[in-house]
Amino acid sequence: MTREDTLPTRPMPKAPTTKVDFNSLKAPSGYVPGLGRGAAGFTTRSDIGPARAGGIDALKGAPGSKAGEGEDPNLDENKFDEFMGNDAGVFAATGEYDEDDKEADAVWEGVDNFMDERRREAREKRMKAELEKYRAENPKITEQFADLKRQLADVKYEEWESIPEMGDYTLKKQRRMERFAPVPDSLLVRAAADVAAGTAAGAAKSLDPNSGLASSLGGLATPMGGAASTVSDLTAIGTGRGTVLGLKLDRMADSVSGQTVVDPKGYLTDLKSIKISTDAEISDIKKARHLLKSVIQTNPRHAPGWIAAARLEEVAGKLPEARKLVMQGCELCPNSEDIWLEAARLQTPDNAKALLARGVAQLPESTKLWMAAARLEADDTAKARVLRKALERIPTSVRLWKAAVELAAEDDARILLSRAVECCPQAVELWLALARLETYENARKVLNNARKAVPTEPAIWVTAAKLEEAHGADQDTVDKIVGKALKSLSANGVVIHRDAWIKEAENAERSSPPQLVTARAIVRCVAGLGVDPVDLEATLTADAEEAAKRGSVETARALYAQALATFPSQAQIWRAAAALEKAHGSRAALDELLKRAVTFCPQSEVLWLMAAKEAWLGGDVDGARAILARAFASNPDSEAIWLAAFKVEFENNEPERARALLAKARENEAANGYPRVWMKSALVERELGDAAKERALLEEGIKRFPAFDKFYLMLGQLEARGGGTEAARAAYRAGLARCPDALALWRSAARLEEEAGNVARARALLEQARLKNPKSAELWLAAIRTEQRAGNEKAADSALAKALQDCPTSGLLWAEAISMAPRPARKTKATDALKRCDNDPHVVAAVAQLFWADRKVEKARSWFNRAVTLNPDVGDHWAQFYKFECQFGTPEQQAEVSARCAAAEPHHGERWCRVSKDPKNAHQPPEVLLRRTVADIDTLPPP
């Protein structure tokens, strides 16, 4: 048998027959295409609503399933939400809104907020820019006429009266205004009765009997006559009104003598006393009365209701009704002290006394009632009697004890206070008052007892320190008392607040007499309390500055002393302390402080210079020299100390010593490298009149320091004084080549050409300077002044206009614009200048000159004071201020301005520099320079 014989045989296929078209057959009931291979049919929301879960569950809603088998009984069309959909939506069968969903929503909300915050700044900036652009393009009417409205404040009364009335020039035909005067009925009746008899006769006389008009008007004669009489009798109506007015005036005047009998003041007082209530007020009062009546009827034991009702009647002007209501309240609410006080307020003084007597009988523990009863008494004896009775009933009332002590004499007050502290041991005010009245020994005992009774009160310890200081205790004793106070208070649980204790030190300093030792002791003990050591220096310095601003000089001095004791090597603290002493202390204290300062900070040049300057200002020239000699030992290579030593000698009219000192400095290897040493050397030679040596020093300085512009400037001025125009021009040319940004060189070179008659060359130099130094107000001002001196007013105006376009915020140019403007236009120009640069001292001084010209003295003084406060270094403003005070001020005001100028020591200003740098005015004090600058203003044009 072969392998093929063992295999199963395959049946033979049948013969092909007709093919069945299954697509044309009807599907069995419940058949879903693709369900056998796992696919399920789907439906859209338009068919059955929200989508359903897939799989077998889809059969419940599939087409062909039985109606109602897959419907959710909770499906309700009224529960549809626009965001979440229907309650039976996709999440209805699978889950709920749990904490994870809530957390996810919070995260996404935070992301949205963060993105919005990132864009908010840019969005707000864009909106702000758009708003500003819109406002700039569409200004309000008030903004367009703001400058004109400001000018209305200066219009005088006569100018207002001289303005003509504006007539009506409209072309429209205006509707005629008809006026009607109300006429009393009595006048109309009387007028009708007077003319009733003559109506027909008047009509007959007025018409021709032969004419047809008389017969045609027969029926209309009577009414027409009455109307005519009413119209024609208006004169009688006016007479009647005049009669009524005359009767009213006769009541107010004496018909015999013609003199008035009305008291004007009393008449006005009567008018003020008349209260005119409107209908709305009357209605409100009625509503409030009805409401309060309901309140007191509903709860008659409620005292505030009675009080409110009584006050309502008082406001309505019914005082008897108010008293009646409040008395009913006293009967029904006898335990309310407020109702008794209100009743006493509404009664007369005598009745109030009786009423309060009933009140204190009903409420003997009420302090308010006893105090009110005492206030009703006329003399102090009766008041003291009432208060003593009150203290018998309420011995623990601090308010009553204080009132009784205020009325008593000193001996009686001491006795009362002794009893008061026994009854009220916790009242610190009573303890302190008793200590002030006792002797020194007894006061110490009283304060010790107070400390035991109230161990947590700092005021007791502070008072003890003040007591010891008042009786001559030294600083260490007071320091111990304050130290023990801090320890005791801390042991009793009191939190020590550093700022509060510093305030207490300031209060001790401001007391009368000042308790300076106590203030210093408090500051020493609490200065570093609770402050981080890293921040201690800054904290002490800031506290000292704030105390000085508040006027507590001794507290600030103590804080600086504590800071210097902790940080003795900090030069800035020494400088601040020295500034405080210079402003509020004595010269001796300042000298002592600076001596200590240079001992601890020998490398600080500023402290050495301050010490030498104070010694020099005090007249101790030898002391200043000694200080500078010590400074040289500590700082041998300091330029500032070399120049300070030169200034001491030069300002004390010792030019030879100054020359020797500078020669020594030029020989010094370190000082030889300072250009200012060479400049001061040339200055000394100019003072001594040695032009050749001055020229040699300047030329040597130029060789050593070719970029130092003042050498060229001084050399050019030297040549110009000697008449060497070409040499001066060469010096300026060389300086401009080396220092093109030196504005003083450009101006001096241009002025040299102008004085030589070359105005065009001067103009060209200034234009070249502006090209190399754009937006320079000083160069523009020099160009304007050049045109003015040349007589070219139009060119000067044109240059000023260009200058303001190039430097729109330059106060120097705006001040020049105000002075150059015609007088009527100066106020407008000043307003524009203040808009551009409000706090510029030059503009403020120019406005002050406008007020000065208008004789507005107080305003001018205020603006001058503001100008010198903004920049006290401008000497021209001080000179203008002093000149103004010489014209309008008192000698005291003139002396004050001069003293302030000397303290400020100004160094700038066109006229001030011209006067101060004149060799004739060398070594002159600021007071003399101030008066000479005023003379320069009166006699010379601007430089």
Q: Tell me, letter by letter, the H, E, C secondary structure of 246-308.
A: HHHHHHHECCCCCCECCCHHHHHHHHHHCCCCCHHHHHHHHHHHHHHHHHHHHCCCCHHHHHH
Whole-number pLDDT of residue 56: 42
Residue type, 427: A
Question: How big is the CA angle at 519 (ends 514 and 520), to the nearest 5 degrees?
Answer: 125
Whole-number pLDDT of residue 821: 92
Residue 641's pLDDT band, with cuts at 50, 70 and 90, is: confident
Q: Is 332 inside any structural domain?
A: yes
Give the residue carrying structure tokens 């939190």: 495
The two structure tokens encoding residue 181: 């005067």
Whole-number pLDDT of residue 207: 38
pLDDT digits (tens, 9 = 90+) for 340-350: 999 999 988 88
Asked if residues 550 and 506 have their Cβ atoms less than 8 Å apart, the reply is: yes
Higher pLDDT, 33 or 910: 910
* DSSP label of 456: T
Residue type, 805: Q
Asked if residues 465 and 505 have their Cβ atoms less than 8 Å apart, the reply is: no
Summary mean pLDDT of the chain: 81
Centroid of chain to Cα 162: 41
Task: Tell me phi and psi for residue 253, to 5 degrees.
Answer: -135, 155
Whole-number pLDDT of residue 436: 85
Q: Which residues pair with 81 in a beta bridge?
A: 85
pLDDT digits (tens, 9 = 90+) for 365-413: 888 989 998 888 888 888 888 888 888 888 888 888 888 888 888 888 8
Mean pLDDT calculated for residue range 328-337: 90
Contacts of 896 (CB under 8 A, 6+ apart): none
Task: Specify burial of residue 586 (Cβ count, 10 A radius: 0-12, 13-18, 19+).
Answer: exposed
Residue 177's pLDDT band, with cuts at 50, 70 and 90, is: low
Task: Tell me phi and psi for residue 219, to 5 degrees.
Answer: -75, -15
Residue 216's pLDDT band, with cuts at 50, 70 and 90, is: very low
Asked if residues 70 and 61 have their Cβ atoms less than 8 Å apart, the reply is: yes
Q: Is 307 inside any structural domain?
A: yes
Residue type, 490: S
Whole-number pLDDT of residue 784: 94
Residue 653 has pLDDT above 90, yes or no: no
Whole-number pLDDT of residue 296: 87
Cis peptide, bond prior to residue 425, ω within 30 of zero: no
pLDDT digits (tens, 9 = 90+) for 66-106: 444 444 545 555 555 555 555 444 444 455 778 888 888 88
Whole-number pLDDT of residue 795: 93
Question: How big is the CA angle at 102 (ends 97 and 107), to the nearest 5 degrees?
Answer: 145
pLDDT digits (tens, 9 = 90+) for 118-145: 788 888 888 888 988 888 888 877 777 7
Q: Is 379 inside any structural domain?
A: yes
- b/e burial code for range 207-240 (CB count within 10 A of at least 16 → b): eeeeeeeeeeeeeebeeebeeebeeebeeebeeb
Asked if residues 312 and 288 have their Cβ atoms less than 8 Å apart, the reply is: yes
Asked if residues 45 and 51 have their Cβ atoms less than 8 Å apart, the reply is: yes
The two structure tokens encoding residue 194: 């007077």
Whole-number pLDDT of residue 42: 58
The two structure tokens encoding residue 708: 């130092």
The two structure tokens encoding residue 484: 């023990």
Whole-number pLDDT of residue 167: 58
Asked if residues 379 and 403 have their Cβ atoms less than 8 Å apart, the reply is: no
From 725, 682, 724, select the one nearest 702 (Cα to Cα).
Answer: 682
Q: Is 494 inside any structural domain?
A: no
Whole-number pLDDT of residue 942: 86
How far apart CA 370 and CA 387 sit, in angstroms, is 7
Rg of the Cα trace of the chain?
A: 51
Whole-number pLDDT of residue 22: 67
Mean pLDDT calculated for residue range 657-682: 85
Higher pLDDT, 43 or 98: 98
Angle between helices 857-870 and 875-888 (to 10 degrees): 160
How far apart CA 650 and CA 2 sit, in angstroms, is 147
The two structure tokens encoding residue 802: 């260009």
Mean pLDDT calculated for residue range 240-249: 65
Residue 173's pLDDT band, with cuts at 50, 70 and 90, is: low
pLDDT digits (tens, 9 = 90+) for 746-779: 999 999 999 999 999 999 999 999 999 999 999 9
Residue 256 has pLDDT above 50, yes or no: no
Whole-number pLDDT of residue 261: 46
In terms of pTM, does the model score above 0.75? no
From 466, 420, 413, select the one nearest 440 (Cα to Cα).
Answer: 466
Asked if residues 616 and 624 have their Cβ atoms less than 8 Å apart, the reply is: yes
End-to-end alpha carbon distance in the chain? 146
Residue 587's pLDDT band, with cuts at 50, 70 and 90, is: confident
Residue 563's pLDDT band, with cuts at 50, 70 and 90, is: very high
pLDDT digits (tens, 9 = 90+) for 824-867: 899 999 999 999 888 899 999 999 999 999 999 999 999 999 99
Q: Which residues pair with 253 in a beta bridge?
A: 260
* DSSP label of 19: P
Mean pLDDT calculated for residue range 359-363: 88
What is the SS3 assignment for 36? coil
Among the listed ranges 177-181, 400-404, 601-605, which one has the minimum average pLDDT value? Answer: 177-181
Among the listed ranges 181-195, 411-425, 540-554, which one has the minimum average pLDDT value? Answer: 181-195
Mean pLDDT calculated for residue range 527-545: 89
Domain count, the chain: 1
How far apart CA 258 and CA 255 sit, in angstroms, is 5
Higher pLDDT, 745 or 167: 745
Whole-number pLDDT of residue 229: 41
The two structure tokens encoding residue 289: 């009365």
Q: Which residues pair with 908 in a beta bridge?
A: 874
Higher pLDDT, 570 or 224: 570
Residue type, 704: R
Higher pLDDT, 798 or 237: 798
Residue 44 has pLDDT above 70, yes or no: no
Mean pLDDT calculated for residue range 241-251: 63
Among the listed ranges 181-190, 219-228, 444-453, 630-639, which one has the minimum average pLDDT value? Answer: 219-228
Contacts of 766 (CB under 8 A, 6+ apart): 746, 747, 750, 779, 782, 783, 786
The two structure tokens encoding residue 557: 């001095």
Mean pLDDT calculated for residue range 506-518: 89
Report the CATH number at residue 313: 1.25.40.10
Q: Is 581 inside any structural domain?
A: no
Give the residue carrying structure tokens 């819109």: 134
Residue 684 has pLDDT above 50, yes or no: yes
From 90, 85, 52, 87, select the one nearest 70 (Cα to Cα).
Answer: 52
From 854, 867, 806, 789, select the one nearest 826 (Cα to Cα).
Answer: 854
Whole-number pLDDT of residue 195: 62
pLDDT digits (tens, 9 = 90+) for 280-326: 667 788 888 888 888 888 888 888 989 999 998 888 888 989 999 98
- b/e burial code for range 710-746 (CB count within 10 A of at least 16 → b): bbbbbbbbbbbeeeeeebbbebbebbbebbeebbebb
Higher pLDDT, 849 or 474: 849
Q: Is 169 inside any structural domain?
A: no
- Domain membership of residue 306 as a residue range: 278-438
From 375, 357, 355, 363, select the one nearest 337 (Cα to Cα).
Answer: 363
Whole-number pLDDT of residue 155: 81
Residue 696 has pLDDT above 50, yes or no: yes
Give the residue carrying structure tokens 């020295």: 578
Whole-number pLDDT of residue 169: 54
pLDDT digits (tens, 9 = 90+) for 778-824: 999 999 999 999 999 999 999 999 999 999 999 999 999 999 999 88
From 648, 666, 667, select the one nearest 657 (Cα to Cα).
Answer: 648
Whole-number pLDDT of residue 275: 52
SS (HEC) of 174-205:
CCCCCCCCCCCHHHHHHHHHHHCCCHHHHHHH
